Amino acid sequence: MKKVFLLLGIVVLFVSETKAQKLPLGPKPSKEPCTTLMGKSMLPVAIDTTIGRQVANNDLAWENGDVILVKFMDNVGSQQVRDMIMRYAKTWEQYGNITFKFVPDNTAETNIRVKLGSKEDRLGHNSQLGIQCNDIPQNQQTLNLDTSDFIDYKSYVDQYKNGGPFLQYLKNKGTDFKNYTYRDLYRDVIAFKDPNVKWNYNSMQGTTTHEFGHALGLLHEQSYPKGIKWNKDTVYKYYAKYQGWDKQKVDYNVIGASDIFYTNGTSYDPLSIMHYPVEAWQTVDGFVVGLNNTMSEGDKKIVAALYPKDKKVSSLAVPKIEITNIGYGEVKTDNVKKGIIIYPSFDIKTSAILGNVYFVARLTTEDGLYYLPTTNENYSWNKMAATYIKMRLLPSSKASYNKNGQKNLELFFPYKEMPDLAGKKVKIQFSVYQDDVVNNRYQKLTFNFLSSPLTIQK
């Protein structure tokens, strides 16, 4: 993911075809920025701690010692490029008890799926965060890498200067050298299809390591609260002009601070591989962060803390609950019991840390757009009409509910406990929440289903 968002100024390159002449090129565009969305993990909350590492979302960390299955998609990418990507990704294994196991492209079930693209498909560089990879369908990628960002374009400018094959290619296609730009150069180098592509290995290393850091649950370091004094108006204008990003996307990816990240007693690390480059004009105090293409000591420490090699469970581990194979279950009215019965259908998996979970069924309007308020304190979720079950789950366990004809999880909502709805139609929305004691809140894990309209008989 590592991107160079910064306008690098006008680069004047001299060429020596016949007489020395300038290849116009103009301003050099930025490298594609990392577009991994921090959105689910970001809110403007200030957290102050003490020294030296990066931010992480412990809620999305894998289990310590996990072997994560990774494959490339669509038979794309030379073996050379794949080998380098695998090498850089597996750098994390040197410091943490976690394994990226690369498997054949035709492997049916994997955790991470890497799509190698270019500036032509505009997918850029991004990754799902940690175990969110498991929520993505198997036919879709979880991590994108723009391999055209890894090309050493300067070497092709040198070929132009020295009369190499790339210059001949440009001549053969009738190139207008007087108005030639970097955009033209990038397009032509990609189309040139050099059998011996010249790679910028620093860029490849920084971006690949950054993206696989996200896949381990690490966030953008520049989002550390109060770490950078941003010149916000200038930053918004820059990203709007050169990346087409709106204010919300800039906040999520560049400026915003996280409420869910765990600082784990440490502080802002400007040398982190997870940090965007920052130029002086982006800050109010002239603060600068360079292009970090290698792991910092802070990076090594946090992956070692999240995935320790000397203990079974990390001291940073938090309760994690995964909901998968969600079905629509069954919702029905029962005029004998005088209420609504809900049988949600799903599989659930817990981490090594014991945790509480709430299965919640809320009433909505017939169109499913609004929850129904209530004054009933016993059948309420955040003052909205609901029934729920609290369950304390065993650590490192798996369970299935209401599958294969079994009825082993039932929620009941008596008519008499509902707001005045006699003769009206409602829907039931089923949700799962984890009791996040560390952050004193309930973390929404999933919406299971929204039922068909039901008529309330009182």
Tally of domains within the chain: 2
Q: What CA–CA distance (Å, rounded) separates 254 from 240?
A: 13
Same domain (yes/no): 261, 347: no
Q: Are residues 296 and 398 in the same domain?
A: no
Task: Give the H or E element holding residue 205.
Answer: helix 201-215
d(CA 444, CA 357): 10
Strands (E), 272-405: 321-334, 339-350, 355-364, 380-381, 384-393, 398-401
- Residues 256, 327 within the same domain: no
429 in the same domain as 299 = no
d(CA 392, CA 408): 15
Give domain status of residue 191, yes or no: no
> Do 302 and 407 fall into the same domain?
no
Q: What is the pTM of this model?
A: 0.71
Query: What residues contact 374, with CB distance under 8 A and at least 6 apart?
Result: 380, 383, 384, 385, 386, 418, 419
Q: Where are the beta strands (DSSP E) in 139-272?
A: 143-146
Pick the closest to residue 196 from 92, 300, 80, 111 (CA basis). Answer: 80
Structure tokens at 129: 């965060």
- The reply to whether 218 and 346 lie within a common domain is no
Residue 95 has a pLDDT of: 97
Which of 306, 338, 370 is the C-terminal boundary of a domain?
A: 306
- The vertex-269 CA angle with 267 and 275, nearest 5°, equals 130
For the chain, how many residues are written? 458
17 assigned to some structural domain: no
What does the buried/exposed string (b/e) look like for 32-58 if buried means 16 or more CB atoms within 10 Å of the residue's CB? bbbbbebeebbeeeeeeeeeebbbbbb
Instruction: Give the residue carrying structure tokens 């492997």.
Output: 107
Is 98 inside any structural domain?
Answer: yes
Host domain of residue 357: 321-455
Domain harbouring 289, CATH code: 3.40.390.10
Spatial CB neighbours of 212, under 8 Å, sequence gap ≥ 6: 88, 89, 92, 100, 127, 143
CA–CA separation, 2 vs 4, rounded Å?
7
pLDDT for the residue numbered 152: 93
> Is residue 63 in some structural domain?
yes
Which amino acid type is present at position 212? F
**Per-residue confidence in pLDDT tens, the chain, 458 aa:** 433 332 222 222 323 333 334 566 665 655 666 666 544 332 222 222 223 334 677 778 899 999 999 999 988 999 999 999 999 999 999 999 999 999 999 999 999 999 998 887 878 889 998 998 988 889 999 999 999 999 999 999 888 888 889 999 999 999 988 888 888 888 899 899 888 899 999 999 999 999 999 999 988 887 766 678 889 999 899 888 877 888 877 877 777 655 444 555 557 788 999 888 888 998 999 898 888 899 999 899 999 999 999 999 888 877 778 888 887 788 988 989 999 999 999 898 888 877 788 899 999 998 888 889 999 999 999 899 999 999 888 888 899 999 988 899 999 999 999 998 878 888 998 888 877 655 555 666 665 567 888 888 76
Q: Examine the domain organization and report whether 105 and 229 are in the same domain.
A: yes
pLDDT of 432 reads 86
Same domain, 297 and 373: no
In sequence order, what E strands does 12-150 have? 13-15, 21-23, 67-72, 99-102, 112-117, 126-127, 143-146
Domain match, 297 and 351 both: no
CB atoms within 10 A of CB 314: 22
pLDDT of residue 446: 61
Contacts of 319 (CB under 8 A, 6+ apart): 350, 351, 353, 354, 355, 356, 434
> CA 165: distance to chain centroid?
40
The C-alpha atoms of residue 153 and residue 148 are separated, in whole angstroms, by 10
How far, in Å, CA of 92 to CA of 305, rounded? 12
Half-sphere exposure of 145 (CA within 13 A, CB side): 31
Place of tokens 């620093």: 202
Q: Which of 159, 229, 234 is nearest to 194 (CA)?
A: 159
pLDDT on residue 16: 34
Q: Which helix (H) or strand (E) holds 186?
A: helix 182-192
DSSP 243-299: T---HHHHIIIII--BSS---TT----TT-TTPPPB-GGGBSS---B----S--HHH
Final residue before a domain boundary, out of 254, 281, 306: 306
The residue among 271, 306, 341 that closes a domain is 306
- Classify residue 73: in a domain, yes or no: yes
- Contact in structure between 264 and 302 (CB atoms under 8 Å): yes
Phi-psi region of 9 (alpha: psi -120 to 50; beta: other; left: phi over 0): left
Backbone angles phi, psi at 381, to 5 degrees: -130, 110
Q: How far is residue 184's CA from residue 179's CA, in Å, rounded to a whole number?
A: 9
One domain, residues 278 and 331: no
What is the predicted pLDDT for the residue at 37? 56
- φ/ψ of 10, rounded to 5, equals -85, 125
* Sequence-distant (≥ 6) Cβ neighbours of residue 128 within 8 angstroms: 36, 112, 135, 136, 142, 143, 214, 215
Is residue 263 a part of any domain in this protein?
A: yes
For residue 400, what is the domain's CATH number? 2.60.40
Q: At what angle do helices 153-161 and 182-192 cross, to 10 degrees?
A: 90
Measured distance CA(222)–CA(452) in Å, rounded: 45
Q: Are residues 238 and 98 in the same domain?
A: yes
pLDDT of residue 6: 28
272 with 235, same domain: the answer is yes
Helix (H) or strand (E) holding 447: strand 441-450
